[in-house]
A and B are shown apart, each in its own frame.
Chain A
Amino acid sequence: MINKYRWWEIVGIYLGIAVFLLFILAPFLEAFLVSLRPLNRINSIPYKIITDGMSFEAYFTMWKNVPRLPLYIWNSFFIATCVTIIVLIAVVPAAWAFARFEFKGRDSILAAFLAINMVGGAVLIIPLFQLMRDLGLLNTYMAMIVPGAAFLIPTAIWLLRSYLMKIPRELEEAAWVDGASRPYILWKVILPIAMPGIVVVAIATFIGAYAQQFLFALTFNSNSDLHPLPVGIYQFFGRQTVVWNEVMAASLVGILPVLIIYIFLQRYIIAGLTAGAVKE
């Protein structure tokens, strides 16, 4: 058979995959090991992978010693959820318009959305900073939510548009012939049949929103009570006594929610992420 490997080929493939996955997973492994070590063993020489006295203690003490940790995790969730809601409100009607309607300038507007997507937030940080300052939004959740949403909209439009284009238009046209208004069609016909696509877009957006929480929070927010987890942890770095085992434990707890979402929905997430990059 074509896919039959000789034994040394199988060994080679597994070896290659092992090296590849080691590169991908080593930081997580290291973080986990550090989180298990007692503080006096973290700073011990020579390096040992397994040290004495490993325990899950840091996972309990961190809630007390890392002030505001639950708050940071909550903030991360809250910001990512708000971003997702705003993106969906903006993207569902827009994607429908791009997928179904003929109107002047449609293709150029769509291209402009995609082109604008090439500029990252850090490039536009100066006017954004002034905008947030002038609107009085510095040190509020809004300063992290609104820019976060804006930079996720183009990909989400693209993803949902491709999904909507695959839905047969007979249903909408039947409803239209029956005299339904277009907002009614959007709400009662499109939304229900497009739900699987919308869910994929929502998950991809949530993960994107959760992943990007650094720059805007670092720049627009100096209120420690509002920081998302990444900036909350980053603030510890400058200090003399970084409690590394607790920082690593907190980092792992902070990424656990997205990892759980990923494990359960990985099929959809991978489809969503790759479709976002595949411009048909």
Chain B
Amino acid sequence: MQAMGGRPNVFPYLLLVPALFITLAIVAWPLLETVRLSFTDASLKPTEEFIGLANYEKIFSRRFPEVIGRTFYWMAISVTLKMVVGVMGAMLLNSAVPGRGLMRVLVMPPWIVPIAIGVFMWRWMYNGQFGMISGVAQYLGILAGPYEFLGDRTGAFYSTVVTDVWVGTPMVTIYLLAAMQSISPDLHEAAWVDGASRWYRFRRITLPLIMPAVATMGLLSAIWTFNSFDIIWILTEGGPRGSTTTMIIDTYKTAISRNRYGEGAARAVMIVIFLSSFAAFYFYMLSRMAKRSLSNDK
């Protein structure tokens, strides 16, 4: 509002004070403090000393590289599944059949209820003796006997992935549905007049046009999945035998459960480095899309 300002003024900055204050205190300062702590031997003892890169040498000499690999694998599977299920879900909900309004409403609950409570329900479902999945699978003859989904390494790993997909899918679906609905019906009609089949139109019109949305959502989803804590913590606390220990879980265990703040901070810094590269890529992609849409408008 140039007209309202005139002289260079501090008023807009004053408007930012409350938001900046909270964000600096709770996010920005802790971020810098994490970096500082990662170079110290901070723990429960009252003093801390600067120890250089010792924490980093220590974590990389142990099983941490394995944890990084597992985190990326976990994230890759989960995000891919969310995208595949999300595209299929959005396609189904985008079809012109009676009752689709109600069905769209029914998609959101996993996203809006407290994550922890949704995961409590999953924890019961994974119960081998009395849970629904094992029970129904035995009834259908898929499983010969009770199977404790969270009991062995492979089962626990994929079970946490499935629950993470469950929490993330509604957002992906609704977002992609919005992208599909913004496609001009003229395009479909023109292709339809030319005799293009529904599958052909999906492949040649819908899919290319929602690709930017898929890419955006995929990256955002990757960032959220990388930060995911509640789901794994409630289902397995990183077990059995470390099979679901992602970087976040590892950091939390080191820092909060074992009070090794310095070592935990070094792990957190590694997470921040990975997250920053995702974020940088995300912003790069957005600016490229913005440019392209500008040049299209001309």
Give the interface of A toward B (CB within 8 A): 2-3, 5, 9-10, 13-14, 16-17, 20-21, 23-28, 30-31, 33-34, 42-49, 76, 86, 89-91, 93-94, 96-97, 100-103, 106, 109, 111, 113, 115-116, 118-131, 146-147, 149-151, 153-154, 157, 169, 172-173, 176, 182, 186, 207, 210-215, 218-219, 229-231, 233-234, 237, 244, 247-248, 251, 254-255, 258-259, 262-263, 266, 269-270, 273-274, 277-279
Contact = CB atoms under 8 A, between A and B. Distances in A.
Nearest to B224: A120
Q: How large is the interface on B (under 10, 10 to 19, 20 to 34, 35 or more residues)?
A: 35 or more
Contacts of A91: 19
Given A27-B121, A123-B272, A150-B22, A213 B92 contact: no
Interface string B4-16: 1100000111111
Contact of A90 (B22, B112, B233): B22
B169 to A, nearest CB: 7
B275 A119 contact: yes
A128 B16 contact: no
A157 B15 CA distance: 12
Interface of B, helix, strand, loop or mixed by DSSP? helix
B152 interface: no
A44 B223 CA distance: 41
24 contacts: A21-B107, A28-B109, A31-B120, A33-B132, A44-B130, A45-B129, A93-B14, A96-B15, A97-B12, A101-B15, A102-B5, A118-B282, A122-B252, A126-B268, A173-B4, A176-B1, A176-B3, A214-B233, A218-B233, A233-B120, A234-B120, A237-B234, A266-B105, A273-B111
Given A150-B23, A176-B3, A258-B112, A3 B103 contact: no
Interface in B272-294: 272, 275-276, 278-279, 282-283, 286
A204 to B, nearest CB: 10
Given A127-B30, A129-B256, A255-B113, 10 more contacts: A17-B93, A20-B92, A86-B22, A89-B18, A101-B12, A119-B31, A127-B29, A229-B114, A237-B123, A247-B120
Q: Is the interface of A mostly helix, strand, loop or mixed?
A: helix
B255 interface: yes
B151 interface: no
Contact of B97 (A14, A44, A213, A270): A14
Contacts, number: 302
A122 B230 CA distance: 9
B26 A146 contact: yes
Contacts of B205: none
Given A126-B261, A210-B114, A147 B268 contact: no
A262 B93 CA distance: 19
Interface stretch (B49-57, B64-72, B133-141): B133-141
Interface of B: 1-5, 11-16, 18-23, 25-31, 33-34, 37, 85, 88-89, 92-93, 95-97, 103-118, 120-125, 129-132, 134-136, 138-139, 146, 166, 169-171, 174-175, 178, 188-189, 192, 198, 216-217, 220, 223-224, 227-230, 233-234, 248, 251-252, 255-256, 261, 264-265, 268, 271-272, 275-276, 278-279, 282-283, 286
